[in-house]
Structure 1
């Protein structure tokens, strides 16, 4: 085998896992195409010691520290296929190169499928967000909107008043029950059932189908998510249904149901953040290391 471990995906979770393995002096290859999930955001928050920094700067520092270990190599590419072999795995990339390793760690992340509302995608990560802990504080208690994508958005709307006066745009997605309306009223949330026509302005002002414009400083949305690469499915990994989309199922060591294949980060969790991804990478990296020592496969 060329490597002890190949990590497919070199964002926060993948690099965190790689660091644990590098420090165990294992031969690691990271294959990554540079498409971080939070590449649209100007700053990252809620990650102790890195609060307020640009996500790209955090990632670049992490990569520089990881690559200081002589047993780590990095390839700027995307894994397109993987197959199980007698003593490990063989992988192929978009460039047509092939690599082999005893273990495979999937840290491919997820893709956010945003609602089809004009002006929404252009503001994603700038004035349209999904995580109040990551971006709510910076709105400085200004007016906030929540755009419904499913009944899960009710939970979002009940949380957001802690960060500012909140308007909940149900947009015809669902009709709150009387009990849900009472909960929203108790939290001071304004309920707007009219269809959302588009998002416009320097921030994220909401234009309704009846022509009204609701001025807000930030709009929160819970997009559907899907694992960003078909590797897990092609290898036969089991998935678990989460509230926002399916994610790769793992055990406590982050190993999947396919022996020797591990997964971590957003692709293997129902919810994600930079801090959670880094912690999950630590768990996965140590799990892979123990597998190399104690498992027969």
Structure 2
């Protein structure tokens, strides 16, 4: 085998997994396409020790730390096919090369499918957001909105008044019950049933939304729950099971980030319904430890744990 472990994905989860394996002096290759989900965000917040730093800066610092370990290598490449090969795995790369490893860690994240609204996509990560814990504080208690896609909007709208005066734009996708309307009103949430037609202001900032009837409502941030899907089909080709989440499917893992396929582990946004930098890094730690233990206690990939 070329490597003990190949990690597919070079953001917080993948690099955290690599660190654990590097410290066990295992041969690790990190494959990275250079297109992490958080590339649109100006800063990462709520990540202990890294609050306010650019995601690219955090990733760069982690790679510098990993460079101190001689058993870790990086390759800017995309894996397009994966299969079991004996007591390990075979990977095919987009460039046509092939690699083998005893274990795989899938940390390639998810893709976001955004609502089709004029002005929305160019504000993703700045004026259009998904997580108030990550980005709400920087809006400085200015008016914010929730763009409904389904009943998930109820949860978002209940949270957001702690960050600013909140309007829930139902968009014809969510009709609150009388009880839900009462609950929202108790939190000070304003309901708006006229759909948003466009987002306004100098992108990527957001100043207001224009409704279908021509009214303009000032808001500094619009929160959405985008539809998500795995950023790669590798898990499918390997036979990994998925679980349906509120925004889309994610890989089913146990408490140690182990998938149903012996020797395959997963961490980060691809393996959780809760996208968060700190949680991604923690999951990567668990996946790295689990992959190392698998090499020791299940060398033939019989499925023992």
For this structure pair, what is the TM-score category when the shorter chain's length is used for normalisation?
over 0.9
- 1:161 Cα deviation after fit: 0.0
Provide the rounded CA distance (Å) in 2 between the counterparts of 1:170 and 1:63. 43
Measured against aligned partners, the alpha-carbon deviations of 1:21-65 in whole angstroms (never above 9, x if no partner) come to 000000001111111111011111000111011111011001111
SS in 1 for 2:7: strand
Match of 1:283 in 2: 286
Match of 2:182 in 1: 182
SS in 1 for 2:36: coil
Match of 1:254 in 2: 257
Provide the rounded CA distance (Å) in 2 between the counterparts of 1:90 and 1:39. 29
SS in 2 for 1:134: helix
Provide the rounded CA distance (Å) in 1 between the counterparts of 2:247 and 2:67. 34
TM-score of the aligned structures, taking structure 2 as reference length: 0.96
Moved more, 60-69 or 223-232: 60-69
Aligned-residue Cα RMSD (Å) equals 0.8
SS in 2 for 1:272: coil
Give yes or no for the alignment of 1:165 onto 2:165.
Answer: yes
Name which of 205, 208, 212 aligns with 2:211.
208
Contact 1:253 1:288 in 2 (8 A): no
The runs of at least 4 consecutive aligned structure 1 residues that moved more than 3 Å come to none
Provide the rounded CA distance (Å) in 2 between the counterparts of 1:273 and 1:59. 15
Give yes or no for the alignment of 1:239 onto 2:227.
Answer: no
Measured against aligned partners, the alpha-carbon deviations of 1:74-96 in whole angstroms (never above 9, x if no partner) come to 10011000111112001011111
- 1:198 Cα deviation after fit: 0.9
Measured against aligned partners, the alpha-carbon deviations of 1:258-285 in whole angstroms (never above 9, x if no partner) come to 1111111100001111111101100110
Measured against aligned partners, the alpha-carbon deviations of 1:2-39 in whole angstroms (never above 9, x if no partner) come to 10000011111000000000000000011111111110
Measured against aligned partners, the alpha-carbon deviations of 1:214-254 in whole angstroms (never above 9, x if no partner) come to 01111111101111000001111000011111000111221
SS in 2 for 1:39: helix
- 1:116 Cα deviation after fit: 0.9
Match of 2:150 in 1: 150
Q: How does 1:1-297 map to 2 (within 5 A)?
A: 1-202=1-202, 203-204=205-206, 205-295=208-298, 296-297=300-301
Provide the rounded CA distance (Å) in 2 between the counterparts of 1:107 and 1:60. 17
Moved more, 271-280 or 200-209: 200-209
SS in 2 for 1:38: helix
- 1:67 Cα deviation after fit: 2.1
SS in 2 for 1:74: strand
Aligned length: 297
Q: Gaps spanning 5+ residues in structure 1: where?
A: none
Provide the rounded CA distance (Å) in 2 between the counterparts of 1:262 and 1:284. 6
- 1:97 Cα deviation after fit: 1.1
TM-score of the aligned structures, taking structure 1 as reference length: 0.99
SS in 2 for 1:90: strand
Q: Gaps spanning 5+ residues in structure 2: where?
A: none
Provide the rounded CA distance (Å) in 1 between the counterparts of 2:249 and 2:112. 12
